[in-house]
Amino acid sequence: MSYKNFTIETDSDGIALITWDMADKTMNVFTLEVLDELDAIVDQVTNDEAVKGAVITSGKSTFSGGADLTMMNSVFERIQEERAKDPSGVSKALFDQVGRMTGLFRKLETCGKPWVSAINGVCMGGAFEMSLACHGRVAADGKDVKMALPEVKVGIFPGAGGTQRVPRLTNQQDALMMMTTGQNLSPKKAKSLGLIHEIAEPDKLIETAKQMIRDGLKPVQPWDEKGFKLPGGAIWSPQGAQLWPAVSANLRKQSYANYPAAIAIIKCVYEGLQVPFDTGLRIEQRYFTEILQTPEAYAMVRSLFVSLQELNKGARRPAGIEKTKFSKIGVVGAGFMGAGIAFVTAKAGIPVVLIDRDQNAADKGKAHSQDLVAAAVKKRRMSEEDGEALLSLITPTTDYAALDGADLVIEAVFEDRGIKKTVTEAAEAVLAPGSVFASNTSTLPITGLAENSRRPDDFVGIHFFSPVDKMMLVEIILGEKTGDKALAVALDYVQAIKKTPIVVNDTRGFYVNRCVMRYMTEAYSMLIEGIPPAMIENIAKMTGMPVGPLALNDEVAIDLSQKVNRATIADLGEGAVDPRHVELIDTMVDTHGRLGRKNGKGFYDYPAKPAKKHLWPELKDLYPQQDPDDVSVDEVKRRFLATIALEAARTMEEGIVTDPREADIGSILGFGFAPYTGGALSYIDGLGVKAFVDMCDDLASRHGEHFKPTPLLKEMAANGETFYARFGAGAGIGQAA
């Protein structure tokens, strides 16, 4: 029998080598067709007396990324269809559908013949769950080989047996940590946890897997044998008594119960380990059915799985323009941002010319990469050879002539129009026609900067976030005259350095910074109202933000906020900034000299290590304090979410952001907007636009005009619309980019 996605070769020992290699995909993924074929292959192996066992591997450099978009789309489409037909029966229909993979993997592990998974690369999600169902698991020894069950990161959890097999193979604490964080495991770590059996040299992977079968690998899983005992002890044991009372408390401390999938993992493990394995699978299937119907799962899968993949694959790239293969990138400005840009470029294997005004400054910029490489080598995340190769790609210099032949030049100099003008003219004097010039400005409109260019159609904004090596988002800003070629080159570059792009039109602060400023200025208002600073910070984190607004402002720098205030007033007038906010920031900077983390004192104090940062004690003395019991936690949460979401809606209304996917991804990756909501616009859609408008009207009546809903929101509320339905056919689940 032949298959579209698999090949089968049986050797003289009767061992079938099943190679998964999807011709139309760069990575193997589970689709309904793949599941059908794998089901037939299990039957074929089981029924063929000449076959003694099977090894399954990948014909690609990676093993599998797990479920395909179409798989997830079909699940959510089924939910909507069943809900429309029979609201009361949607759970039953969904329960049967989500059990498909569970049943298939159980069929594989109970077929009576040994199966070995030969993991030759990245093995994620459902693919690792399939591997766990195999009786033997061998992983290639390589830095690119990673295994994980990362589903919780997109609002769901390992629902094809993962929550039952992992804690039966390793201790419960490690199992819970792995699944509730979605952490990647190296082969060495996976073996130490008992999740794989062997690590082999890549060229000996298949032979090692086959040898396990020749050596008499039992076609029975440990939990199917009589007398099986859980690693590390049962739930109701002294070991379990130490672990389980703290599990829920620790999860709540880390996530504030904002992620139903993480809670479901704990329930699956706790309940499933007290019953027979097949009953445990049914418990997992029940919880998976429940989680798939939560708004958190829908929003997170849409944004952090579907939309993220679509944007990373070039959803916004103009058609008909040949993809750029970069031979050289220029970076002008070797300060912290420019040095970071040079590092991520070289890490992608692209030669970089790093220019500054003097050689010492340029060398110092390269030294930043040397420090990052040294840290990676020390942590064994990079070999010394790879580190040396990376550093060899960075050429620090003062000579603009070295930019000759560059496909793209990115300036990352000070936020000064005069300096940027000088740099633009010097670079363009060397660049060949067709080369693209980009500004990494975070505040200055691209259209104005492009006036310094002789070819504004090849001028674009590429806005990185700090620190460049860690932040995954990049804003690409279009000036009024930016052409499709410049946009395509910018998108190709962001893809080459493995970051996620969003495309926005030109405006003050672009998209992310506009939303971030709303987050921080709402905290200013709360301080002025006398809400205790600790409550402001803690409630922000309870809302789902990774860091409180005051701590974030310290990282950005309070004196930078002062400069932004003054520049905004100079350009737009006194009414453009709340005078109370101006007074607060001026007091912090001018009266108390508190600039933020950079000078060790801002809204927080930053003592020498090992002491931890703490809120500046005198901060509470700047304004009369409210009694904490009089502060509504829920109201503070709503204020933080609403002020950011309103700003995101304004950018859509103004045409700054044109695609809801980018607004959502930008808010999550840019500053960590409550990921469980799916992003700023998904938060509005999930709440319902009418409910959101009503909430904003209520907040505006008590906290100011900045909460007033926009005309667009009022119109959408009246028409019963959502952002994803109104803006862009490529924005929702089930829609291809």
CATH code, domain carrying 718? 1.10.1040.50
Q: What are the structure tokens assigned to 286, written together?
A: 């029940």
CATH number of the domain at 34, please. Answer: 3.90.226.10
477 assigned to some structural domain? yes
Cβ count within 10 A of residue 377: 16
On whether both 96 and 66 belong to a single domain, the answer is yes
Torsion of CA 229, 231, 237, 242, to 10 degrees: -170
Cα separation, 609 vs 594, in Å, equals 19
- Residue 232 within any structural domain of the chain: yes
Give the per-residue pLDDT at 227: 93
* pLDDT at residue number 734: 34
Alpha carbons 394 and 387: distance in angstroms, whole number = 12
pLDDT score recorded for residue 35: 96
Give the three-class secondary structure for 221.
coil
Positions of E strands within 52-186: 53-58, 115-119, 123-124, 136-140, 147-148
Which tens digit of pLDDT belongs to each residue from 152-178?
Answer: 999 999 999 999 999 999 999 999 999
CA distance to 196, 220, 229, per residue, from 226 (Å): 22, 11, 9
Single out the residue of 19, 21, 39, 37 nearest to residue 29, CA to CA.
21
Q: Which residue has the tokens 């929550």?
A: 163
Kindly state whether residues 253 and 172 are assigned to the same domain: yes
Domain-located, residue 108: yes
Amino acid 736: pLDDT: 30
pLDDT bucket at 567, cuts 50 / 70 / 90? confident
| Residue 73 lies in domain | 6-217+224-298
- 412-445: string of b/e by CB count within 10 Å (b at 16+)? bbebeeeebeebbeebbebbeeebbbbbbbbebb
Residues 251, 387 within the same domain: no
Tell me if 313 is assigned to some domain: no
Give the Cβ contact number of residue 325 at 10 Å: 9
Q: Are residues 462 and 570 in the same domain?
A: no
User: Are 205 and 114 in the same domain?
Assistant: yes
* Of 247, 278, 298, the domain-final residue: 298
Q: What pLDDT score does 116 carry?
A: 98
pLDDT value, residue 218: 96
The 10s digit of each residue's pLDDT in 96-123 is 888 999 999 999 999 999 999 999 999 9
Query: In the numeric block, which tokens belong to residue 187?
Result: 């082969």
- Three-state SS at 30: strand
Q: What is the pLDDT of residue 200?
A: 97
Last residue of a domain, one of 479, 509, 539: 509
Residue 582 belongs to a domain: yes
Look at residue 119 and give its three-state secondary structure: strand
In a domain, 702, yes or no: yes
Domain assignment present for 22 = yes
Cα 163 to Cα 149: distance, rounded to the nearest angstrom: 10
Which has the closest alpha carbon to 473: 311, 338, 310? 311
Q: What is the pLDDT of residues 624-681, one digit of tens each?
A: 999 999 999 999 999 999 999 999 999 999 999 999 999 999 999 999 999 999 999 9
CA–CA distance, 664 with 685 (Å, rounded to integer):
11
pLDDT of residue 51: 97
pTM of this prediction? 0.92
What is the Cα–Cα distance from 639 to 717, expressed in whole angstroms? 20
Q: Is residue 559 predicted with pLDDT exceeding 60?
A: yes
Residues 521 and 504 in one domain: no
The H or E element spanning position 7 is strand 6-10
Is 526 domain-assigned?
Answer: yes
Same domain, 266 and 376: no
Q: Give yes or no: residues 169 and 272 share one domain.
A: yes
Are residues 446 and 569 both part of a single domain? no
Question: What domain count does the chain have?
Answer: 3
DSSP track, 448-511: HHHTT-S-GGGEEEEEE-SSTTT--EEEEEE-TT--HHHHHHHHHHHHHTT-EEEEEE--TTTT
Judge if 356 and 499 occupy the same domain.
yes
With H, G, I as helix, E, B as strand and everything else as coil, classify residue 310.
helix
Distances (CA, A) of 460 to 379, 403, 482, 513: 37, 18, 6, 18
Per-residue pLDDT at 729 exceeds 50: no
Chain length of the chain: 737
The last residue of one of the domains, among 451, 474, 509, is: 509
364 and 229 within one domain: no
- Check whether 737 has a pLDDT greater than 70: no
Q: What angle do CA 20, 22, 26 make, to 5 degrees?
A: 115
Mean pLDDT of 539-560: 95
In the chain, the percentage of residues whose pLDDT exceeds 70 is 98
Contact 439, 411 (CB under 8 A): yes
* Residues 440 and 559 grouped into a single domain: no
Please check the confidence at residue 253 and state whether its pLDDT lies above 60: yes
Least confident of 444-448, 507-511, 631-635, 730-734: 730-734
